[in-house]
A = this chain, B = another copy of it.
Amino acid sequence: MNIEASSSFQPLTLTVALGERSYPIHIGPGLITDGEQLASYLAGRQVMVVTNDTVAEYYLAALTEALPEGLEVRTLVLPDGEEYKGFDVLTRIWDALLEAGFNRRATLVALGGGVVGDMVGFAAACYQRGIAFIQVPTTLLSQVDSSVGGKTGVNHPLGKNMIGAFWQPKAVLIDTSSLKTLPARELSAGLAEVIKYGLIHDVSFLEWLEAEMDGLRALDAELLAKAIERSCSIKAEIVAQDETEQGVRALLNLGHTFGHAIEAHMGYGAWLHGEAVGAGMAMAADLSHRLGWIDAAALERTRRIIIAAGLPVEAPVEMSVDDFLSRMRLDKKNIDDCLRLVLLRRLGEACVHDETPLEVLKACIAEFPRC
C-alpha cells in the first residue's frame, strides 16, 4: 500500500495492490464533480451511472454534468434500501445495459452506499462476463468498507450476500463532502466498521477513535477524512494479502456472523448493516471474554466505544439461541461442520477460531442483553 500524500485533509490516494487488478482509492472533498478524473478510469465511451432515489437527488446531476463531452452517458435510479438488494433490482441493471446496447467496453459507475456498490459491482462482474466499474461511495459505511476490496453480490431470501463475485473496481472515488448529507443513523452505522478496524488491527487507532468520537459524530471533516484514510489503508493491506478470503481476510468479518444472523432474521433493512455489526462485535467480544482471551475491562471498553458511536450493544429480543445458531451455520465463513468465528485475541488483534465449544456459544447468546 502506498500513501502518496499526508494524512491531513488534502486529497490523497491509497493503492490496493493486486497485481494486474490493482486500483487507486482517492479520498478528498469534491471528487463527485471531478469529471475528468472519473473519465480517466473509463474502459470506453459508454458509461452508465447507477444510483438510488435518495442519492440521486443530491449528486446524480452533479456527477453526470461534470463528465467531459463525447461520452455516451446513461443513468439508472434504483429504489433505496437493503430490501431491494436482490435479483429483481439487479436484473434491472442488466436490462438497462442491454436496452442501451452497451458492449464489453461499457463502464458502470456505482454512486451510493453499500447496496448500490455491491449490486452494481456484481452487475459489472456478470454483464457480458465482466465489464469495468467505478465505486463512488456516498455513505461512511461504503467508504470505509464495501467499496474497497471487490466483494460484490446480492441477498437471497435464505442468506445475505449469498450470490456474488469477487470483482475489483477500476478506482474508488471517496468524496468526503458527501457525508454532509448523510443521516446521523447511517453515520453511526458506518462508524461500526471504523471501530472494527481498530479492534482487529490497530489499538492506537482504537484509542484515537475513543478520543475523537464526538467530533466524528459532529461531522468534523478533517477527523472523518482521517478515519476513512486509516480504515481504507487497513482494509487495502488485508485485501492485498488475501483477495478471495482464503485466510487473513476473514478477520474483516469481526461481528459479522452474529450481525448477518440479526439482519437476516429481522428482515433486511430493519436493522442497518452497521447496527447489526455493532451488536455483533459486542457479542464477539463477550464470547472472547468467556473464552478467557480478553478481560472484563477490555470487554467494557469495546462496549463503550460501540455505544459512543450511537450503536446497539444488545441483540433483538425476538431472537432465540436457536434462531442465531441456525442462521450462523449458513454463514459463508463456515466450512463443513465446524462453526468458524472471528474473535478478539486482545484489543487490536483478531483471530479466526473454529473450536468454540457449542455450550459456551449458546450461553453467550442466551445471556446476551436483548433490546
Contact = CB atoms under 8 A, between A and B. Distances in A.
Interface in A173-201: none
Interface in A57-116: 87, 91, 94-95, 98-99, 101, 103-105
Contacts of A245: 129
A98 B162 contact: yes
Given A129-B164, A162-B94, A163-B127, A335 B103 contact: yes
Contact of A101 (B46, B244, B330): B330
A158 interface: yes
Contacts of A334: 103
Interface residues of A, number: 40
A166 B101 CA distance: 21
A129 B46 contact: no
Nearest to A331: B103
Interface string A302-328: 000000000000000000000000000
A290 interface: no
B130 A165 contact: yes
16 contacts: A44-B335, A87-B87, A87-B91, A94-B163, A98-B158, A98-B162, A101-B329, A103-B334, A103-B335, A105-B335, A126-B153, A126-B163, A126-B164, A126-B165, A129-B165, A130-B165
Given A45-B336, A104-B332, A105-B335, A129 B244 contact: yes
A151 interface: yes
A287 interface: no
Interface centre among A103, A122, A153, A330 (most CB of B within 10 A): A103
Contacts of A98: 156, 158-159, 162, 330
A285 interface: no
Interface centre among A94, A104, A129, A332 (most CB of B within 10 A): A129
Contacts of A8: none
Contacts of A279: none
A140 interface: no
Contacts of A284: none
A299 interface: no
Given A94-B162, A98-B159, A127-B163, 19 more contacts: A44-B335, A45-B336, A46-B336, A87-B87, A94-B163, A98-B156, A101-B329, A101-B330, A103-B330, A104-B335, A105-B336, A126-B153, A127-B162, A128-B162, A129-B152, A129-B165, A129-B166, A129-B244, A130-B165
A59 B126 CA distance: 31
Contacts of A158: 95, 98-99
A125 B125 CA distance: 10
Interface in A328-346: 329-330, 332, 334-336
A130 B161 CA distance: 12
B332 A128 contact: yes
Nearest to A329: B101
Nearest to A153: B129
Nearest to A164: B129
A103 B159 CA distance: 12
A193 B22 CA distance: 37
A105 to B, nearest CB: 6
Contacts of A152: 129
Nearest to A125: B165
A317 to B, nearest CB: 26
A151 B129 CA distance: 8
A46 B335 CA distance: 10
